[in-house]
Amino acid sequence: MSQRSPHLGFGLFIAAVAFVLDQVAKWVVTVPLSLETKPGGSIEIVSFFNLTWAQNYGISLSMFADQSPTTRWILVGVTALVATAVAIWMTREKAKGDVIALALILGGALGNIVDRVRLGYVVDYADLHFGSFRPFMIFNVADACITIGVLLLVARALLLGEKAPAADASPSAE
């Protein structure tokens, strides 16, 4: 049986912070700002960033978007399975950088799961654009945490991949 990660407590703290930031941001756009009731559902913050109301019934890039209760609960279940797998991985991971990445993914996944259970959709609002060019779909803090976490895992795997054991440099016996 593998030992518990020495960084688990820190990882759970990061996951909790990501979750709370996501939920607070969603509360701000839905309650005090009432973004969904604004004309056009949008508020310009700066010339390249708006708060724009969007209800995401699907997953990333609105794939599998469907407003049926069956699809909603399937997406909750699949996301919960992924979050559980990430949490288990995080408990066993020894590298602090990987624990941080996994924690961001876990916190973001939990934030989106809460929305889908509570509302039937995920609240999205962050609209980054440069003129009419939008490099991303409208997203939220949870989506950003998941994306950053995945990118960190990929970058660490590519840049810090496990090194093969050094070949035996001693001369072979003849």
pLDDT, tens digit, for every residue of 72-95? Answer: 899 999 999 999 999 999 999 999
Which residues belong to the active site? 124, 143
**For residue 93, how many other CB atoms are within 10 A of its CB?**
23
Residue 170 lies in a domain: no
123: tokens are 């609240």
Provide the residue range defining the domain that includes 62.
12-159
Question: How many structural domains are present in the chain?
Answer: 1
- What is the model's pTM? 0.85
Residue 166 lies in a domain: no
pLDDT in tens, 8-56: 999 999 999 999 999 999 999 999 999 988 877 899 999 999 999 999 9
Residue 65 lies in a domain: yes
Residue 3 lies in a domain: no
Residue 125 lies in a domain: yes
158: tokens are 């590519």
23: tokens are 């939920």
